Structure 1
Amino acid sequence: MTMKLKLIFGVTECKSTVQDLLIIEDVSTSVGPRNYGKMKDFVVDTIRNISISSKKTNVAFMVFSDTAEVVFHLNTYRDNKTSIMEAIDSQTHTGGNSFLGDAIKLATSEVFTETNGDRSDVPNVVLLLTDGYSDANEDVRSSIDGLKAKAEVFVMTVTDQVDNTTIDLVASSPALKHVFHIDASETARSIKNVTSLQICTDHMGR
């Protein structure tokens, strides 16, 4: 996203960007109930700070473990932040294996489509919360380029032990700007910048 500056009156005006945001939660056994609780609380707090409406940010939500599931699409709760927060808050830690590749394929084929609310004129952003472990790494490698072609991918690691190789593969480049840890002091601010980014225009007199 390019930030354009126009100098006219000496006043700074800011407006929130519009985006289609997909949040993907890893609910597999390796994440664990305690880390999952932190993950869910973080996501709900993140949603609370986003301007959500049909003309602003739209949100979709997925979970994955043995299988991947779209809990709701970009156009399911387009004008209802409360329903989004309730749907995310009601999600539980199911446990099971971790098929990250299936989640990536489903996001690419089903979430970012016009039928399910994807808007062609706004940026697509993915926030993936995971430890990076997958029971089918080949599926991750073969499918991630398709998702990256449609969206900018940010990864939040949620455990102390993570698969850095897979995380760096999944995240958009550079990884330094697209990978965060849930317990890092700067993460909340960084994710807020990603999901509630403002473009500011400085106006100065001539």
Structure 2
Amino acid sequence: MDFIPRVFLLTVLTRYGVICNQHNHKRFLFDPTSVPSTPDPTFLTAELKYLHEQLHDLSDKNIELTVRNSLLSSELQHQKDFVQTLKTNITKLESTYSKEKVVLNDKIHELQTKVNESNSLAIQLTNNLTSCALQRRQLEEAVNISSTKINLLEKQLNDSLVNQSHDARVVELQLNISRIQHDCAHQNITSVDKINLLQAQLNRSTSLIGKLEANLTTCTKSNDQTEAALNVSRERNQLLETQLNGTRKELNIRNSDLDQCQRTALAMSSNIANLQSLSNGSTLCPNYEVCGLDLVFLVDESGSVGTDHFQMLKDFIFKIIQFLNIDPHTDQVGVVTYSTTPQLEFYLDTYPQQLYLYEAVQNISFNHPGLTLTSRGLRFVRENLFNGTNGDRTGHPNVLVLLTDGTPILPSHASLEAEKLKNQSVDIFVIGISKEFNRQINLDIATDSSHVQSIADFGSLDNPTLVRDFVRKLMKVCTNIKS
């Protein structure tokens, strides 16, 4: 695959005899004033290696940018879905508000119709009352006329009595007077009854109008209260939704903490049982405490691992360090997680006591899922962990344990970085947890075939025999150093 770039580079070199570095500065491979047949092979080889490494770095950057673009696209889609959900909720609330507004408008229209009917009835009653008053005035005029006639008849009667004549006429006049008085009394009673009836009807109409006006006022207030309640309900829904989201997040955090505590308890119980079964008076490695390890775990945190399997990897590390003697003068442990980019969890000398180291391992979180770029993790360990500044000690064996669930992306880069670690006297163990584990690719990363171990599934990491055998392999490193 590298033949074509090399031929092209040789053609350029043969024609021009120069090449540019990353700062665009020309470097002559041979004296441009002379006319050599071919460029210097040694320098050409160095330049090819330099360009090859630059090509690898550009490839890594391209992959990283692709991953970031994918993550940003996913986040954008999530935001769009959230906005669409909010729009749907707003549409539902507006629909509900519209329906309630239509119902309230119908009620207001119905009450307005009743008010109009009441006003019409009141007008009719007022007209009737006016007519009744007119009839009353007419009756009063008739009564006055009758009274005048009575007075006239009484005068005539008195005149008749005085004259003592016309007895028959007097009797007739008396009967007429009695009849007229009776008619007038009857008409007065009838008029009073009609007036009282009309007055009662007017009072009922006035009361009904008052009730209708009160109902209209109540309905208007109810409409305002309903609209205010609807606004309060919207605000309350938003507040409740915010509180619900916060409660869900808090519940998830508490469930995660609870699961972690339960797993820690189970792991500690299992490890205590393992320690009891192993405490038979024999040591796993003679003079091991004098040897001491600078041990680094490089843990795969790619998306294919997942939270549950990542917890099993932490439990496996927890079991391993229980067999070590954590102390600044004996064993030290550092941890780095990696996916698309590596992440330092703690250096070799960060936790010099066993108890604090246990807690630190259990507190490692699954926060950076991505691609399996093992080469970047190996480079990070070489540059940041195995150096004197961050706890690496002279005279103590350096051991790297790679825990992964798959084949690394760009395996040639991973092999190149592993070779640089081996040149620094770092023993590299590879533990692959997968049925499709590519042993040949990981042989190029590990120190040798005895440093590569394949496991079918994550559940097998809980096997005490597996833990014990791997600890023996770690302690064998001390034996090889001593010998």
Provide TM-score, normalisation by structure 2. 0.36
* Unaligned stretches of 5+ residues in structure 2: 1-282
Among candidates 361, 385, 408, match of residue 111 of structure 1: 385
The CA distance in 1 between the partners of 2:355 and 2:420, in whole Å, is 31
Among candidates 35, 48, 51, match of residue 322 of structure 2: 48
- Structure showing the higher helix proportion among its residues: 2
The CA distance in 1 between the partners of 2:443 and 2:406, in whole Å, is 9
Q: Which residue of 2 aligns with 1:22?
A: 296
> Deviations 1:178-206 (Å, cap 9, x if unpaired)?
1123428652122111344575xxxxxxx
- Structure 1 residues 50 and 196, CA gap change in structure 2 (3 angstroms): farther
Aligned residues of 1:22 and 1:62 also touching (Cα < 8 A): yes
> Deviations 1:23-73 (Å, cap 9, x if unpaired)?
111011122334323211111111111101011011111100111122111
Q: Which residue of 1 aligns with 2:365?
A: 92
Among candidates 80, 95, 108, match of residue 353 of structure 2: 80
The CA distance in 1 between the partners of 2:384 and 2:337, in whole Å, is 14
The CA distance in 2 between the partners of 1:96 and 1:164, in whole Å, is 22
The CA distance in 2 between the partners of 1:89 and 1:158, in whole Å, is 20
Aligned residues: 185
- Select the structure with the greater relative contact order (CA < 8 A; seq sep ≥ 6): 1
The CA distance in 2 between the partners of 1:116 and 1:103, in whole Å, is 17
> Deviations 1:112-158 (Å, cap 9, x if unpaired)?
00111111211111111012422232321321111112210111112
Q: Which residue of 2 aligns with 1:162?
A: 437
The CA distance in 2 between the partners of 1:141 and 1:20, in whole Å, is 22
Bigger mean CA deviation after superposition, 14-23 or 133-142: 133-142
Aligned-partner SS, 1:35:
helix
Aligned residues of 1:35 and 1:158 also touching (Cα < 8 A): no
Q: Which residue of 2 aligns with 1:36?
A: 310
- Structure showing the higher strand proportion among its residues: 1
The CA distance in 2 between the partners of 1:156 and 1:103, in whole Å, is 15
Aligned residues of 2:320 and 2:471 also touching (Cα < 8 A): yes
Deviation at 1:106, TM superposition (A): 0.8
The CA distance in 1 between the partners of 2:431 and 2:408, in whole Å, is 15
Aligned residues of 1:180 and 1:187 also touching (Cα < 8 A): no
Runs of 4+ in 1 over 4 A off after TM superposition: 196-199
The CA distance in 1 between the partners of 2:306 and 2:332, in whole Å, is 29
Aligned residues of 1:131 and 1:163 also touching (Cα < 8 A): no
Q: Which residue of 1 aligns with 2:125?
A: none
Deviation at 1:18, TM superposition (A): 1.0
Q: Which residue of 2 aligns with 1:193?
A: 472
Q: Which residue of 2 aligns with 1:124?
A: 398
1:67 is the counterpart of 2:334: no
Aligned residues of 1:132 and 1:167 also touching (Cα < 8 A): no
The CA distance in 1 between the partners of 2:454 and 2:399, in whole Å, is 18
Q: Percent identity?
A: 25
- Structure 1 residues 68 and 195, CA gap change in structure 2 (3 angstroms): same
1:58 is the counterpart of 2:332: yes
Aligned residues of 1:127 and 1:156 also touching (Cα < 8 A): yes
1:178 is the counterpart of 2:435: no
Aligned-partner SS, 2:287:
strand
The CA distance in 1 between the partners of 2:422 and 2:310, in whole Å, is 25
Measured on the aligned residues, the alpha-carbon RMSD in Å equals: 2.2
For 1:24, give the aligned amino acid: L
Aligned-partner SS, 1:170:
coil
> Deviations 1:147-175 (Å, cap 9, x if unpaired)?
112210111112222232321111111x1
Aligned residues of 1:66 and 1:97 also touching (Cα < 8 A): yes
- Structure 1 residues 189 and 181, CA gap change in structure 2 (3 angstroms): farther
1:152 is the counterpart of 2:431: no
